[in-house]
Amino acid sequence: MTANVAQRAGHETAPAGLLVLRLAAGGFLLPHGLGKLLGWFGGPGVAGFAAELQHFGLPSAAPLPLLLAALQTLLGLMVLAGAFTRIAALGSAAFLGVTVALNLSHGWFWMHGGIEYPLLWLLVNLAVALTGPGALSFDALRTARSGFAHGR
């Protein structure tokens, strides 16, 4: 009986848990995209982002930095809002995967430029992609209006 009560409580709190997970995943990615796109939050802006790409030996010619910064911003917003969540979370994980790859040579700890922090957020975005947006999302609203189960 106790297991049944715990299981029922888990089903009742799952939408809130998925919302918190999504808010963290999108909410932590969004400022990084806005920093690259608009220079907000102490970010480098598009020109500075282009220089960062060049520093890592990646393509940096216009309009690529602008497109990447805009895409990162859009993906963060989409995960945050729960709109086309699985695709957006996978795209976010891909961005973070590149960050992990670029920082492999710095070791594990983020305080030394390592992979710890971006890997954590890559895994959070993968968890969002695997679990779906939950009932408290735009995906749930969209699918409820079309008559399907709520976007899981």
Each residue's pLDDT tens digit, 52-111: 999 999 999 999 999 999 999 999 999 999 999 999 999 999 999 999 999 999 999 999
Torsion angles phi and psi, residue 137, rounded to 5: -155, 165
pTM of the model: 0.86
Tokens (6 digits) for 96 = 């973070």
- Give the residue with greater pLDDT, 148 vs 84: 84
What's the helix, strand, coil split of the chain in %, to 5?
Answer: 80, 0, 20
Q: What percent of the chain has pLDDT over 90?
A: 86
Lowest mean pLDDT among 15-19, 34-38, 103-107, 146-150: 146-150
| pLDDT for residue 109 | 97
Average pLDDT of every residue of the chain = 92
| pLDDT of amino acid 150 | 45
Who has greater pLDDT, 149 or 29?
29
What CA–CA distances, in Å, run from 32 to 21, 82, 97, 98, 120? 18, 18, 15, 14, 15
